[in-house]
Structure 1
Amino acid sequence: MKPVLRQVTHSPEYSFVVRKDAGDDMLNTWHYHAEIEFLYIRRSAGTWLVGDHIGHFQSGDVVLTGANLPHCFRHEADHIHHGETICVKFLPEILGDHFLQLPETKAIRSLLNKAGTGLQLTGSIKEQAAKLIETMLTDSPGQKLVHLLQLLQDVSESRDCVPLSSKGFIQSPGSSDEERVRTIFEYTMKHYHERISLDTVASLLNMTRPSFCRFFKSKTKKTYVEFLMEVRIGYACKLLVEDEKNVAEIGYECGYNNISHFNHQFKSITGKRPLEYKRDYLEQNS
């Protein structure tokens, strides 16, 4: 199954889309679209895949995805019925080539280029962008455009934008290579808590183990073992701050049978031991 091309319908009154989705309307598959998109997670939590990046999102997060960058947001089941997101989608063409070549729009032009890898907004710009996106829901048509430019300018001036996907990730939507990467992503998301061998994932693509290893690293700029570790530790971070299980139980639930190995890999990814990570998180969000 290839990433789905999503066509965005515009109304006669607007040149771009500002839309609130709730419940089942938030659900999506591995897809891409020609529009650049700001997505504000108003109320939900789950896992996002942006290019070759995988991570966990929660209420309040804001992400910017570039044109034709495959992505998927997997909302957890208990958030589906009461969750909400707001998206702002626009074609870069609505700004005009001449406008984007002005010296005053240099920062915005640079931001749109960086959006090709996907950007997660953090710090004060995350809250600032969320407020603007909220306002755009009820704006008049002209004010929506003014606030879109304000949003782009504010984000372009911020240093609190974290790249998500690697620059080396394949950018040709619908290619056979992208379909293969998607197959591995999907399998890993379903089975990361189990023992996964390289021979097993290689067989999904009808490849030998060495061929698969070369293929995966050439497309994602990381080994499959590194990718699997990121998936498991990412989920462990979520459990640490949301669950009352102890470290050993969380490690086991994430696919680790050896607590020492879990602690070692957790620190190699986050720079902290599991309990240090939980303590720091709770202190910062208390």
Structure 2
Amino acid sequence: MTSSSPYDPPAEPRPPRLDFDRPPAHPGTAPVRPGLRRMRRRRRRTVLLAVALLVAGAGAAGVTRLAGPDLLGRHPLAADPSLANGTGAGSGSEPRGYPTAGTGSFAAADGRSPVRGDDGPLRRYRVEVERDTGQDVDEFAATVDAVLGDPRSWIASGELRVQRVPEAEAADFTIYLATPATSEGMCAEGGLSTERYTSCRLPGRVVINLARWMEAVPDYGAPLEVYRTYVINHEVGHEFGELHQACPGPGAPAPVMQQQTYGLDGCVANAWPYVDGVRYSGEPTDGV
């Protein structure tokens, strides 16, 4: 129910209706204006042309019945099963064969890696992948092992070592591969907003967004493997105490702690914290 105002002014008189589609009340007593004849002829031609086009299009598509209201889009787009389920082209709900939301349940990789690095404290990590995402947990773990054990990664400092372990109680931190919806919820627990787009790190928890793992980001300018290496080193770098850094200048390699997911700012893609055996970095920024 809607409320009414205490005072409704009287309606103003309406001007006489000019209905050019209605013939005179007494044919022959009022001549039809030449302009009206031309307008009627144009309208008839337009209607006939539209009908002819619809019939031709229907015949080409193999449609045998034309229903006026249906031509105006009586049924919503969601009536198309591919669009309703988020699998149609351009829908974005299930892009390129991977889910955007999952069960929130994870499978952990078995086994342990060798200890990588020459000296320093040992940082143990565990690897988990969200179930039913089409991603193999052992394959993901092997990629993480290869990145963190590379001599261009964080162990190049000579001040820490890394090892993957299967037991949760033995791990200093866990690296998760999660769907955009699940990763958003996990990151939000620490007050971080990812808009289902970025990855994040919380104390003891590195969360890699599956969408970024599968697609990287537009205009990154490097193969997917480079972005994957970058995102592991970047988020694990936060776990090791590193803060965000800025691009040193146009054409320079992007520091691994630069937020390359949001753009390179004139730098070129770079996935490693050490370049030519030297720690490569930029000026610190306010972000973490």
TM-score tier (shorter): under 0.3
Higher relative contact order structure (alpha carbons within 8 Å, sequence separation ≥ 6): 1
TM-score when normalising by structure 1: 0.23
Larger gyration radius, structure 1 or structure 2: 2
Q: TM-score, normalised by structure 2?
A: 0.23
More helix by share: 1
Structure with the bigger percentage of strand: 1
